[in-house]
Copies of this chain bind each other. A is one copy, B any other.
Amino acid sequence: MAKPAITLKTIADQLGYSVSTVSRVLNGLADKYRISKETQEAIKDAAQRLDFTPNPLARGLRMNKSNTIGLVIPDISNPFFSSIARNVEHEARKHHYSIILCDTDENTALEIESLQLLQNRKVDGLIMLPVGQTSQHIEKVYQTGMPMVIIDRYFKDVDIPYVASDNYKGAFEAVSYLIQSGHTTIGCIQGLRHTMPNSERLRGYIEAHQYYNLPVNERLIVGDGFGEQNGFLETKLLIRKEKELTAIFALSNLISLGSIRALKEEGLRIPDDISIISFDDQPYSEYLSTPMSTISQQNKEMGQIAVKHLISQIDSTIRPSGEYVLLSTKLIKRSSVKILSASKNIIKQINRGVVSMQ
């Protein structure tokens, strides 16, 4: 059933040349080794005819290169991640790399295991979407010389190239929009604390308040996880405890889904009773019970840029330093934010220059 594989030797024997000559022709080194035109033709023909493809295992063994990229992702079933994965795969394929997929289930232990696995498998590089709370295990791998780029949850003070959204600006814009719409008591439901995207979004939240001379109420900043459950729980608690609350800033798409569920259970309407704005735009965002205003990220570009950067890293001998790209976000206004009448005052104040522009 299993036919004998077509190898260089098959061609060499059939044509009466040596394996090395065949290899050279097929690798475009014919001229360098001045192999005659006729020989070249004959070999190329035979290769085509026999449908020869080099054995990647043998080649990898010899060249110490597998043409393979490890993609480590916290949860491929989260649409934010899967759309990145999709573009990573397409871009990698363009450059003749294949993707080995590891889903870490938002679990650092599994992430460590995956890193180990991929190193053993001799991938040429790693695209990491880390869980994000600790980075030592990742740094350790990077320091062995493994080319790497991090997407989304990068780390402070860790000099590994990354590409992410400008989470600070995105959050600043979202919260500014809320404030300009007249909201002054805005709940912030965080994702995983001590991850950079979260910290930066939080900073955006805080600085937007300061920019508009609004006090920051610590009690409004809650939660610790990007998942739906966290959004649900924290929303329930918030609306019970904070009677003044008029708006929620959800730091991920899943969190906002949880919020919606909680608000519905409590019989609160969006945006009439509570306004909501969320990070991450999703295909379904506009179809939700109330079409959701969101901060959309360029995840297609993230994947592409990451792959391009990784490959240039693989092909180069010098280690990059301080290389990163921050992609801009976009505020998508739909109907989940209510314009409160009070907003007019604030807008007026801005126009009059009462609220300082820093």
Interface residues, chain A, with chain B CB atoms under 8 Å away:
1-3, 53, 55-58, 60-61, 66, 68, 71, 75-77, 79, 82-83, 85-86, 89-90, 93, 98-103, 105, 117, 120-122, 144-145, 228, 257, 260-261, 282-284, 286-291
Contacts and interface: CB of A to CB of B under 8 A. Distances in A.
Contact of A287 (B71, B93, B100, B261): B261
Contacts of A2: 144-145
Given A53-B120, A98-B100, 19 more contacts: A1-B145, A56-B120, A56-B122, A57-B57, A58-B61, A61-B61, A68-B100, A77-B79, A77-B85, A77-B86, A82-B82, A86-B103, A90-B103, A98-B117, A100-B100, A257-B283, A260-B287, A282-B284, A289-B289
A149 to B, nearest CB: 18
Nearest to A92: B101
Contacts of A286: 261
Contacts of A105: 90
Contacts of A290: 289
7 contacts: A1-B144, A53-B120, A55-B61, A98-B117, A100-B100, A282-B284, A287-B288
Nearest to A98: B100
Nearest to A60: B57
A314 B215 CA distance: 64
B101 A89 contact: yes
Query: Closest 9 interchain pairs by CB?
Result: A82-B82, A77-B83, A57-B61, A57-B60, A101-B101, A77-B86, A1-B145, A53-B120, A99-B101
A102 B90 CA distance: 8
Contacts of A76: 76, 82, 85-86, 89
Given A86-B103, A100-B99, A122 B287 contact: no
Nearest to A105: B90
Contacts of A57: 57, 60-61, 66, 122
A43 to B, nearest CB: 19
A336 to B, nearest CB: 12
Contact of A144 (B3, B117, B260, B284): B3
Contacts of A83: 77
Contacts of A60: 57
Contacts of A289: 287-291
